[in-house]
Amino acid sequence: MTDEKCDKGVHAELANTVIDAAARLDDLRLRAPGHGAVVSFQGTVRPVTKQGEPLEKLILDHHPRMTLVSLQRIAEAGIRRFDVSAVSVVHRCGAMVPGEVIVFVGVTGDHRREAFLAADYLMDRLKTEAVFWKRELGPFGERWIEPTDRDRMDLERWNEKNAGH
Amino acid sequence: MQIGFHGRIAAPFSGAVNVEVSMNGLAVSGLRALLASQYNVDAILHRSVRAAVNDEIVPEDYVIRPGDTVEFMSPVSGG
């Protein structure tokens, strides 16, 4: 895969306001038209914590420079690893309420399987490696959140021989 | 020089502190020890708290010079 494809095919963005996932999908389709497969994923803020308590806010602290670089690197890794034509990663930062979109991932390509795999890979890396520090607020007070064992296991899958192929 | 902090480690330092670093420089490990002593925050000694200089993660023996952008960060949460 050429660097030119990587340059043209990757969009990574840090958003400090609500992400309009439908508009982001339209943007992706306009940027990479003519492909048979368009896969998108959006992660949203859950209304309850893992402990089952009501969640009032989720706060994603970010680094002023390193966070966007991390999103860019992950997106570039996705387009390099899979036979896809364009990748879009848009990630929220700041305070969010339940139901809001935290992350949008979109992938276009000629074949659905590669597009699905790329989106899955991108999310696994974002969940563990994106430079954010996450806190949840609710009746319990404030609590820091770190990647779970499940998140780490999801990421490990991609280190296995022939993972995803 | 202003030292920045990110994540859980930011709270005991109120986000940032100022430290004098001579032209001879100061190793990351030395800066940790200085911060732990001056602010009574042992958590800064934990190696899981990574040091970044000019936006790159650096090892413990990296020598910080005046003018560098120095930050400590707790393990990232991911997105």
Instruction: Give the pLDDT band of residue A27 (cuts 50, 70, 90).
Output: very high
Is the pLDDT at A34 greater than 90? The verdict is no
ipTM: 0.91
What's the pLDDT tens digit per position in A65-106? 999 999 999 999 999 999 999 999 999 999 999 999 999 999
CB-nearest to B6 from A63, A91, A126 is A63
pLDDT at position A158, please?
Answer: 82
In the predicted model, what is the mean pLDDT of chain B?
A: 95
Chain B residues touching A130 at Cβ < 8 A: 76, 78-79
CA distance A127 to A148: 9
pLDDT at position A164, please?
Answer: 64
Which residue ranges form the domains of chain B, and what is each CATH number? 2-73 (3.10.20.30)
CA distance B79 to A151: 11
CB-nearest to B79 from A63, A127, A144 is A127
Instruction: Give the pLDDT band of residue A156 (cuts 50, 70, 90).
Output: confident
Asked if A85 and A35 touch (Cβ cutoff 8 Å), the reply is: yes
| Separation in Å, CA A61 to CA A79, A155, B8, B66, B77 | 27, 22, 10, 27, 10
End-to-end CA distance of chain B: 30
Is the pLDDT at A5 greater than 70? The verdict is no
CA-based nearest residue to B71, from A55, A157, A61: A61
Which residue ranges form the domains of chain A, and what is each CATH number? 9-158 (3.90.1170.40)
Q: What is the pTM of this model?
A: 0.90
Q: Which of A131, A142, A153, A156 to mutate to test the interface with B (most CBs of B within 10 A)?
A: A131
pLDDT at position A161, please?
Answer: 65
